[in-house]
């Protein structure tokens, strides 16, 4: 019997051979430190996404989960509140609780696990710092359109940053997923979360990145230590989208 492991939503096809070659080449020089910062990777990501984005609007991390954690470290204090919309990725509450943050839950509603935007807006308190939205959502596989995200961003108070987790966006077959990058270009309070674990088949390399207005990306970058990402991971990531 052939078993296809999908429990963590990894890519069953494996990584690109170009990513494997790049990682192997990097390992041959593993006696050397990686680049001190991730500026090369961030510039490459900006060039990949285009639309006038620059490397200063990106920050990398050792996985999408670490993107979440770095954003939390930069944008929420212990005792402040975050809103999540269950059923959602379990790491949101795990990470927030470990940092002493308070969680408000606004469950998705029937029919179709829809985002309850009115209840989200009602839930926002003076000390709410973060709102987590996942689109397409894990574990429901449901999604919402551009007007929903724009509506939330238009109405949410200035003290709240939206963590817009779209690590599964490459798998969406429907038209109408939000153009989240437009909101970064418009300098809204948003951090987009991407990962190389899913579509690019590099879960074991632990590479993720955030896209955010420069003022937010800089806050996150300032908290990172030097030599944060390993060379093999960065090289594999940059090779992964070469066709
Ligand atoms: C919704 C969601 N966000 C983020 C991640 C983080 O992925 P990784 O840490 O592998 O980059 C996952 C992984 O399962 C996920 O399902």
pLDDT in tens, 92-120: 999 999 999 999 999 999 999 999 999 99
Nearest alpha carbon, ligand 1 atom 14: 8
From the CA of 39, how far away is ligand 1's center (Å)? 23
Give the position, in ligand 1's atom list, of the atom nearest the Cα of 134. Answer: 1
Domain boundaries, the chain: 17-240
Tokens in use for 201? 């088949």
From the CA of 97, how far away is ligand 1's center (Å)? 18
Spatial separation of the C-alpha atoms in residues 33 and 231, rounded to whole Å: 8
Task: Please answer whether residues 59 and 209 qualify as being in contact, where contact means their C-beta atoms are separated by less than 8 angstroms.
Answer: yes
Residues with CB under 6 A from ligand 1: 8-9, 63-65, 89, 134, 138, 165, 167, 195, 197, 203, 208
pLDDT, tens digit, 9 for 90 and up, residues 146-174: 999 999 999 999 999 999 999 999 998 88
pLDDT, tens digit, 9 for 90 and up, residues 36-82: 999 999 999 999 999 999 999 999 999 999 999 999 999 999 999 99
Nearest alpha carbon, ligand 1 atom 6: 64
Strand residue runs (E) in 15-80: 58-61
Spatial separation of the C-alpha atoms in residues 84 and 220, rounded to whole Å: 21
Spatial separation of the C-alpha atoms in residues 14 and 145, rounded to whole Å: 30
Residue whose pair of structure tokens reads 């470290």 in the numeric block: 73
Q: How long, in residues, is the chain?
A: 243
Would you say the pTM of this structure is higher than 0.85? yes
Task: Please answer whether residues 6 and 12 qualify as being in contact, where contact means their C-beta atoms are separated by less than 8 angstroms.
Answer: yes
pLDDT over 80 (residue 19): yes
Under CATH, to which class is 17-240 assigned? alpha beta
Spatial separation of the C-alpha atoms in residues 91 and 205, rounded to whole Å: 19
From the CA of 146, how far away is ligand 1's center (Å)? 22
Strand residue runs (E) in 3-62: 58-61
pLDDT over 80 (residue 7): no
Residue whose pair of structure tokens reads 């990584």 in the numeric block: 15
Task: Please answer whether residues 70 and 210 qualify as being in contact, where contact means their C-beta atoms are separated by less than 8 angstroms.
Answer: yes
């Amino acid at each position: 019997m052939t078993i296809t492991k999908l429990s963590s939503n990894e890519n069953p096809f494996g990584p690109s051979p170009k990513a494997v070659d790049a990682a192997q080449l990097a390992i041959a020089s593993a006696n050397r430190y990686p680049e001190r910062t991730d500026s090369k990777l961030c510039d490459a990501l900006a060039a990949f996404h285009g639309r006038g984005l620059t490397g200063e609007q990106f920050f990398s991390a050792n996985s999408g989960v670490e993107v979440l954690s770095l954003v939390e470290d930069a944008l929420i204090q212990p005792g402040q509140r975050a809103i999540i919309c269950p059923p959602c990725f379990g790491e949101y509450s795990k990470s927030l609780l470990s940092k002493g943050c308070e969680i408000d839950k606004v469950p998705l509603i029937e029919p179709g696990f829809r985002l309850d935007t009115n209840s989200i807006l009602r839930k926002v308190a003076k000390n709410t710092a973060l709102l987590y939205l996942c689109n397409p959502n894990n574990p429901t596989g449901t999604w919402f359109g551009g007007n929903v995200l724009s509506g939330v961003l238009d109405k949410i108070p200035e003290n709240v940053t939206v963590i817009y987790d779209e690590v599964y966006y490459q798998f969406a077959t429907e038209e109408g997923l939000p153009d989240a990058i437009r909101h970064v270009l418009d300098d809204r309070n948003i951090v987009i979360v991407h990962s190389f674990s899913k579509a690019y088949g590099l879960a074991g390399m632990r590479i993720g990145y955030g896209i955010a207005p420069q003022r937010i990306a800089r806050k996150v970058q300032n908290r990172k230590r030097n030599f944060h990402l390993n060379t093999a991971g960065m090289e594999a990531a940059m090779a992964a989208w070469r066709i």
